[in-house]
Structure 1
Amino acid sequence: MNKYILITILAVSSFSSQANDLINDERIKDQKNCFTSIFESYDSWRGFIEKKYKKRSKSKEDLSKKLSWFDSMFGEDNFNQYKKNLSCNTFTYQVDGSDVSGYIIKPKTNSKKLPVLVYNRGGNGSTGSVEFGSMMNNLFPIANEGFVIIGSQYRGSQHPGTLTKNVMNDEFGGKDVKDVTALLSYIPKIEGADPQRIGMYGFSRGGMQTHLALKQVKNVKAIATIAGATDLLKELNFRPAMEEVYTHRIPDYETNKVTELEKRSVLNWVNELSPNVPILLLHGENDERVSVNNSIELADALSKNNIPHKFVLYSKDDHDLTNNKIKAQKELVSWFQKYL
């Protein structure tokens, strides 16, 4: 009798686990709900943050200011709305025989298949990885408008607490581009996703990833970049500190510097871009991390090559478009609604 009870429990547990999977593909492993653990409720998340802030705060007033900032950035009402409306999982998939971490966000209810956006994050290695806070601030608002969003953390970066075997190095636009293109094979296995309507967009380094990925895939209908670098060699004059990142990340950089940077710079191969894939460029005028000239010069080159595009310059704004985040998100949503 106990044997049958155990079998039943295991069967129910297995069914429950599969029911929570957002990608129905046996190649995808470790699908876990984003709204669990400390993120199960706003109170538990805020309580965790409060403990962290207490260690760094010099006074109760200082702590109160930090918590007020947290609430203004996120907020309980927004959290509850997104938890009610959206499904969100992290997962593991394989590229070149090694585990890579990814994430997927999608509306819970819809009467028709939804367009899919592949999001390419900024940063390098674990720096800039997409954590819950950045999802809520940057991705949830767009998914909530009727999009499925899927993205990679890139090789060399894992979800907190994840044990990943055979960790590969992030090559900053090298083999790690496969981490992006590999995601497209899973889109047909996402329930409610329309594999015929795929867009892609990236922030900062993710802009470079987006252009590089499009050299390898043909089923992306529209793209967008936010503060993207388009000429990495020229960008070194604007931000010399990036030399350290390039040296650390890019294979054979010291012996093939110019060649490797030009391979990663879309301005060197604008004539290879498809005239059938419209491009949206968003950039802050006072960006101190990626010069706005990257987008200005790319927009000019796109015009000369008759590539359909739109360039939106945000006056006096920064790398993260801090002063125009909502406007920028509306611009992205409008762009992909138009072309997908």
Structure 2
Amino acid sequence: MIRLEEIREFHFAANLNLVTYRSQGYKVKGYLATPKGAGPFPLLLYCRGGLRNIGMTKLAWIAHFVSRGFVVFAPFYRGNRGGEGREDFGGDDRHDVMDALSWLKQLPFIDPARIHLFGFSRGAIPALYTAMKFPEICSVAVWGGVSDLNLTYEERVDLRRMLRRVVGGPPWKNGKAYARRSPVFDIKTLECPVLIIHGKQDQLVGVAHAHRLAEALRQAGKRYQLWIDEQQGHLFNVAQQAVEMDRMLTWMQMQE
């Protein structure tokens, strides 16, 4: 079951719909933005960061991606904005991305040979795991991305209570659950090239996540690029963010 509701107040050169679909039996919601024209267009799955209303999907980012000719789908993850279930911080809610891709590939205005993934912050987890499952994906880019949840537990004291509740205890008591949400341990199954973008001054997701992911990819003999901005934090300033997004989208198009 897929239901689309047009959002008319989206004032960009694109059509925006609120989508309701099924993931593991739950009704999940997300945005589907489509450029004007007949297509077929490349697809960009935008995996948001944060948790619940913190770090929610950014319409300005969707508009930027659509302006470059991508169809954009951005799931809110289960339990958000009227969706059923409960957000799982990179656990079962990764299926909200995987299950979306299964029906997105069937849409007539999407080119199934040009599919890309973008994961911001903790959205890197579902983005990378989805890329592992679907070998036809052209590229995956992670920006300020979480790659090892053990490291998140170490560096984010303010998130420990949430992580213990969602994941099921601290890492030393439930290491398998933390490893299951840590792409660095499963990267051998990934086939597409990876772009890693990170601000060295990031205080929310430390730059060590980028280096750990890059090292895991290097050891596995995978294709990747690592872009570290020495001056930026978790969210880049507006001017530099626009520059970096355009560089990222150009890189994606080069992988097709």
Fold shared by both chains (TM-score > 0.5):
yes
2:208 to 286, 293, 318: 293
Query: In the TM superposition, what whole-angstrom CA distance separates every residue of 1:40-80 from its partner, at most 9, and x where no partner exists?
Result: xxxxxxxxxxxxxxxxxxxxxxxxxxxxxxxxxxxxxxx5x
* Equivalent position amino acid for 2:118 in 1: Y
* Equivalent position amino acid for 2:75 in 1: S
1 or 2, which has the higher helix percentage?
1
Does 2:111 match 1:197? no
Q: Secondary structure at the match of 1:245?
A: helix
1:221 to 120, 138, 141: 138
Query: Shift of residue 215 of structure 1?
Result: 3.4
User: CA separation in 1, counterparts of 2:216 and 2:106?
Assistant: 37
C-alpha contact (below 8 Å) 1:126/1:156 kept by paired residues = no
Does 2:246 match 1:318? no
- Count of matched residue positions in the alignment of Structure 1 and Structure 2: 254
Query: Shift of residue 256 of structure 1?
Result: 4.5
* Equivalent position amino acid for 1:97 in 2: G
Query: Shift of residue 32 of structure 1?
Result: 2.1
C-alpha contact (below 8 Å) 1:104/1:151 kept by paired residues = yes
C-alpha contact (below 8 Å) 1:125/1:155 kept by paired residues = no
Does 2:66 match 1:143? yes
Query: Shift of residue 155 of structure 1?
Result: 0.5
RMSD, aligned α-carbons: 1.9
Q: What aligned pairs does 1:83-232 form with structure 2 within 5 A after superposition?
A: 85-110=13-38, 112-130=39-57, 134-136=58-60, 138-158=61-81, 162=82, 164=83, 167-232=84-149
Name stretches of at least 5 consecutive residues in structure 1 with no aligned partner: 1-26, 40-78
Query: In the TM superposition, what whole-angstrom CA distance separates every residue of 1:11-54 from its partner, at most 9, and x where no partner exists?
Result: xxxxxxxxxxxxxxxx212x222333xx6xxxxxxxxxxxxxxx
Q: Secondary structure at the match of 2:5?
A: strand
Q: Percentage identity across aligned positions?
A: 25
Structure 1 equivalent of residue 194 of structure 2? 279
User: CA separation in 2, counterparts of 1:188 and 1:259?
Assistant: 32
- CA gap of 1:195–1:244, structure 2 versus 1, over 3 A, is same
Name stretches of at least 5 consecutive residues in structure 2 with no aligned partner: none
Structure 2 equivalent of residue 48 of structure 1? none
Q: Scaled by the length of structure 1, what TM-score is found? A: 0.70
* Equivalent position amino acid for 2:181 in 1: R
Query: In the TM superposition, what whole-angstrom CA distance separates every residue of 1:227-257 from its partner, at most 9, and x where no partner exists?
Result: 011121123222222212212322x335843
| Rg larger for | 1
User: CA separation in 2, counterparts of 1:258 and 1:234?
Assistant: 12
More off after superposition, 193-202 vs 181-190: 181-190
Query: In the TM superposition, what whole-angstrom CA distance separates every residue of 1:213-235 from its partner, at most 9, and x where no partner exists?
Result: 23333331210000011121123
User: CA separation in 1, counterparts of 2:186 and 2:72?
Assistant: 28
User: CA separation in 2, counterparts of 1:256 and 1:96?
Assistant: 27
Structure 2 equivalent of residue 45 of structure 1? none
Structure 1 residue ranges, 4+ long, deviating more than 4 angstroms after superposition: none
User: CA separation in 1, counterparts of 2:88 and 2:247?
Assistant: 31
2:5 to 13, 23, 32: 32
User: CA separation in 2, counterparts of 1:122 and 1:178?
Assistant: 15
C-alpha contact (below 8 Å) 1:284/1:314 kept by paired residues = yes
* Equivalent position amino acid for 1:93 in 2: Y
Q: Secondary structure at the match of 1:190?
A: coil
- CA gap of 1:204–1:258, structure 2 versus 1, over 3 A, is same
User: CA separation in 1, counterparts of 2:189 and 2:37?
Assistant: 39
User: CA separation in 2, counterparts of 1:322 and 1:295?
Assistant: 19
User: CA separation in 1, counterparts of 2:25 and 2:209?
Assistant: 35
C-alpha contact (below 8 Å) 1:199/1:220 kept by paired residues = yes
1 or 2, which has the higher strand percentage?
2
Structure 2 equivalent of residue 262 of structure 1? 179
